Every structure is written in C-alpha cells, then in structure tokens.
Amino acid sequence: MPDPKAALAGHPFFSGIDPSIGETLAECAHEVSFPAGRFLAREGEPASGFLLLECGTVALELHRPGRMPIVLETLHEGELVGTSWVIPPYRWSCDVRALDPIRAIAVDARCLRGKSEFDPKLGYELLKRFLPLFVQRLEAVRLQLLDVYGETPT
Amino acid sequence: MRSPDPFVPSLFRVDRVWRESADTVTLGLLPIQGEIPAFRSGQFFMLYAFGIGEIPVSVSGLWGQGPLLHTVRAVGPVSQALCRLRPGDTLGVRGPYGSPWPLPQAEGGDLLLIAGGLGLAPLRSALLPALAERERYGRIALLYGARSPADLLFGEERGDWSSRGDLQVEVTVDHASPAWRGSVGVVPARISHTRFAPERAHAFVCGPEVMMRYSAAALLGAGVPPARIFLSLERNMKCAFAVCGRCQFGPTFVCRDGPVFSYDRIARLLSIREL
Ligand SMILES: Cc1cc2nc3c(=O)[nH]c(=O)nc-3n(C[C@H](O)[C@H](O)[C@H](O)COP(=O)(O)OP(=O)(O)OC[C@H]3O[C@@H](n4cnc5c(N)ncnc54)[C@H](O)[C@@H]3O)c2cc1C
Ligand code: FES
C-alpha cells in the first residue's frame, strides 16, 4: 500500500500543505479502490468522510422516482468527493457512483473532526482549503441553474 | 462580387446543409457571382433571409477552403428562416466585418479555446488554422460546454479532435442522464484541469456572456494576464460598419472594434449593467 502521507501531500487538494499538518491528516487517511459501477455513497447515508480522487471519475447523481437519475456533476482525478461530512447532520446529499475503476485516498471525518477540536491549526487549514471549494461549487451551480445555453440571453 | 452600396448584400446560394443538432445547422454558401471575399477566423457576415431580415453570423470555417461556412441556431424569425434553407436556395450576404481572433499573437505559447454552446462555431474557425500549423503553438486545449449531450455540435469532427495526441479536448455538459459517459459540470470549472502554462498562454472565449465572464474570472485566477484573454461579444447589429450606433458598447462599436476584444479592454464595460 502506498504511504498515505506522501499520497495526501501529492494530491492537488492538499498541495503545499505544512508537513506537520499533512502528518496529522495522514493519521486519518487510507488508500481505497472501487470497481466501475459501484456506489461509493448513497443519499441520506452518514457521511463518514471524503475521498481525494487519484484515478478515475465519479458521478454525483440524484435519483427520481419513476425516472432516470440525473447526473448533477462529475468529479475527476485530482478532485475531492464529499463535503457533507463538514456540516451536521453529516449525511450524503446525493448518490456517488464510480464511472471508472477508482483509486482514492479516503479521509475519515470523525477522526478529522476529533483532531481539529484540539488542533486549531489543523482546523484552520481545513477551513482555508474547504471554503474556496464550497464557493467554487456554489458558483458552478449558479451557472448551471442559469441554463445559459438553453434560453435567451435577454 | 461586393456591391458598391455597403448595405446591399451579394447573392449567395446554399451549396450544402449539415444538421448539427435539433435547432442548429451549418450552411455551406457559394457566391452566385465572383469569389467569396477574403475573411479571417473570428469575423462575421450579415446574412439576409429575403423578406424576413438580416443578422450577424460568425464564420465557422476557413477562407479558401470550399464554401463559406456559417453555423446558425434557430432562436427567432431570421435565424429560423436561415435554418430552413435547403441546397439551391439563395440568400443575401455582406461582409466580412469585425476583428479576428488574434492567432498570430498567440503563436509560440499555449492556446486555450473555451467554447460555450454555439460559441464552438466561431472557435472552430480558430482551431482549424492552429491545428494546420500545429508547430507554431505550445499546448492547445479546447474546452467545450453545452447544455446536454444532445446539444453538442460537430460530433464527428470532435471525435477526430479528441483522438489527436496534440490537442486536449474537454467536453462537459450542464445536465445528463447516467448514459452519458463524459463530464458533467460547467466549463469554467474545467480550466483548472487543463494543462497549460498561464504566463505564456492565450485564451479565446466564445459563448453566452455570463459563461464568458465566469471563464475570464477563472482564467485570471489561474494566472492568465487579462491582455491575453479574448472574448467574442454579441450585440444586436444593423449596419455592421460603425454607422448606425446599434451595437455601441461604451466607447466602442462591437461591429467594428469587436466582436473579438481583449479582456483588459472591456472588463470595465462588462461590469456596467446598462451596457
Ligand atoms: C458578432 C456576432 C456573431 C454571431 N454569430 C452567430 C453565429 O455564428 N450563429 C448564430 O446562430 N448566431 C450568431 N449570432 C447571434 C445572432 O445574430 C442572433 O441570435 C440574432 O439576433 C437572431 O435573430 P433572429 O431574428 O433569429 O432572432 P431575434 O428576433 O433577434 O431573437 C429572438 C429571440 O432569441 C433571443 N436571442 C437572440 N440572440 C440569441 C442567441 N445568440 N442565443 C439565444 N437566444 C438569442 C432574443 O433575445 C429573442 O428573445 C451572432 C451575433 C453577433 C453579434
Ligand atoms: S451595427 Fe451599426 S454601428 Fe455597429
């Protein structure tokens, strides 16, 4: 198994991380892999952590009764999957399905939240990395909602 | 042959029609008399559907390589009439007008083409010459966003582009069913996944204005200097040669000074709501 500390530091989401913080994070991390087609999470299930994708693509899907599920977004190599672990009640807000064979670093949320309580430096570092991600995703959702290609630009 | 009265169009005949999607076609046009006037990538012509009206439409092909190509989406009376044309039908054409994509300026560095929806058509006219002279550029990437898989244009040709080793093609849609194997998400979010050196890159962006503003913000965030980001603006037009004032955008006329503008020139104007 590759060393989670090196894998974490090498992932774009944690690029340039202070080595001591990287070490603490690695204590909550392990490598995982999933075959294509596997659901990595289901809407409503406890969000026990997040994944840093190293290889492969996942789809965030919303199921609809009697209709095909809709793909909200795809996430690719170098991206982070899962933000529901940050905010109570810590439950996945959509399904996550592997489109390809996936290799990722899984980070355990309970472990991370526990460490952040006692290590404000770690908590602040996480805040600085997750907050821009939330803003980027919010902006992307706004743009999707506008349906800029569909309707008149008036 | 160009008429001496700048408002009078030349007569062209539809040579071929390609259906690109449910509401979009590409027209191949040939002049009834004379030659196709020389034009450059990024410029536009005024196309006149007889008895209905005239609209600006960008070139989607290259000069000197067969018919004059225009890709038109049916949104209103004139564009619908153009989309209904069949081979052998005639229409009025005048132009070319406007500023081209600054391809020579981009030589020697990386080139990012960022297209939203129908914006792929004007950018096709920049991509083709860049691919024909591939050695003049560093990395070339095409980022293309559309509403859904059914709305994607130039299907076959895109397949060829994607299979080239010297071109990164990223296609993404806003909405899809699980049957779609590609990416779902907005174009600006794909910029951070594109391989390019921002300090020596040029970016050409074409699509709905909101999408262009978000893309420009993402490019600036990635470190591309504003003077190297180029947007193709759309404004209603009438004369197309800076006489009527219809397309005025602050101190500039989109028909003459644009439609392709560098971001540093128009960033302030884009933020003025009334324009
Ligand atoms: C420089 C330039 C280049 C252009 N290049 C192209 C091109 O390559 N292909 C092309 O199809 N169009 C292009 N356009 C846009 C085209 O000129 C307009 O869509 C035109 O107004 C359509 O005229 P219409 O009579 O069919 O519809 P209008 O009566 O003008 O419009 C009907 C409805 O469609 C809306 N509408 C207008 N333009 C658009 C649009 N672009 N997208 C969605 N809804 C719209 C209007 O707000 C209105 O509600 C270009 C415009 C400019 C200024
Ligand atoms: S369209 Fe008349 S000034 Fe530009």
* Region of poorest pLDDT, from A83-97, B75-89, B90-104, B234-248: B234-248
Chosen for mutation from B153, B170, B184, B187 (greatest number of chain A CBs closer than 10 Å) is B184
Question: Which CATH number is correct for B10-97, 3.40.109.10, 2.40.110.20, 2.40.30.10, 3.90.1150.10?
Answer: 2.40.30.10
Question: Rounded to the nearest whole angstrom, what is the distance from the C-alpha of residue B236 to the centroid of ligand 2?
Answer: 8
Residue B222 · residue B23 · CB < 8 Å: no
B82: nearest Cα among B43, B55, B117: B55
The pLDDT value given to residue B101: 97
CA angle B136, B110, B217 (to 5 degrees): 150
CB contact under 8 A, A153 and B234: yes
pLDDT value at B267 more than 70: yes
Q: State mean pLDDT over A59-71.
A: 88
Report which bound ligand comes closest to the CA of B55.
Answer: 1
- A57 close to B (CB below 8 A): yes
Q: State mean pLDDT over B218-233.
A: 94
B102-132: per-residue pLDDT in tens? 999 999 999 999 999 999 999 999 999 999 9
Chosen for mutation from B153, B186, B214 (greatest number of chain A CBs closer than 10 Å) is B186
Instruction: Assign A144 a pLDDT band (cuts: 50, 70, 90).
Output: confident
The pLDDT value given to residue A93: 92
The pLDDT value given to residue A153: 39
When the pLDDT of each residue in chain B is averaged and rounded to a whole number, the result is 92
| Cβ-proximal residues to B271 (8 Å cutoff; 6+ apart), any chain | none
A31 HSE (CA, 13 A, CB side): 11
Instruction: Assign A66 a pLDDT band (cuts: 50, 70, 90).
Output: confident
The pLDDT value given to residue B274: 62
Report which bound ligand comes closest to the CA of B119.
Answer: 1
The pLDDT value given to residue A2: 65
Could you tell me what percentage of chain A is helix, strand and coil, using 3-state DSSP and rounding each to the nearest 5?
40, 30, 30
Residue nearest (by alpha carbon) to ligand 1 atom 33: B76
| Cβ-proximal residues to B61 (8 Å cutoff; 6+ apart), any chain | B67, B68, B69, B124, B125, B128
pLDDT value at B22 more than 50: yes
The pLDDT value given to residue A52: 96
Q: Report how far residue B101's alpha carbon sits from residue B232's, in angstroms, rounded to the nearest whole number.
A: 9
pLDDT value at A154 more than 50: no
Q: What is the DSSP letter of B227?
A: G
CATH of domain B103-232: 3.40.50.80
The pLDDT value given to residue B130: 96
From the CB of B197, is ligand 2 less than 6 Å away? Answer: no
Residue B255 · residue B239 · CB < 8 Å: yes
The pLDDT value given to residue B178: 87
- The proportion of chain A whose per-residue pLDDT surpasses 70, expressed as a percent, equals 96
From the CB of B243, is ligand 2 less than 6 Å away? Answer: yes
CB contact under 8 A, B210 and A148: yes
CB contact under 8 A, B178 and A97: yes
Q: Which domains does chain A have, with CATH numbers?
A: 4-150 (2.60.120.10)
CB contact under 8 A, B178 and A76: no
The pLDDT value given to residue A151: 57
Q: 3-state class of A110 per DSSP?
A: helix
Q: State mean pLDDT over B164-176.
A: 93
Complex ipTM value: 0.83
| Cβ-proximal residues to A154 (8 Å cutoff; 6+ apart), any chain | none
Q: Give the residue extent of every domain in chain B.
A: 10-97, 103-232
The pLDDT value given to residue B270: 80
B45-80: per-residue pLDDT in tens? 999 999 999 999 999 999 988 999 999 999 999 999
Q: Report how far residue B249's alpha carbon sits from residue B253's, in angstroms, rounded to the nearest whole number.
A: 6
pLDDT value at A42 more than 90: yes
Instruction: Assign B236 a pLDDT band (cuts: 50, 70, 90).
Output: confident
Q: State mean pLDDT over B258-262.
A: 93
pLDDT value at A32 more than 60: yes
Helix ranges restricted to H, B95-242: 103-106, 120-132, 155-162, 187-190, 209-222
A 10 A CB-CB count for B273 gives 5
B129-166: per-residue pLDDT in tens? 999 999 999 999 999 999 999 999 998 899 999 999 89
Q: Report how far residue A58's alpha carbon sits from residue A71's, in angstroms, rounded to the nearest whole number.
A: 10
Report which bound ligand comes closest to the CA of B53.
Answer: 1
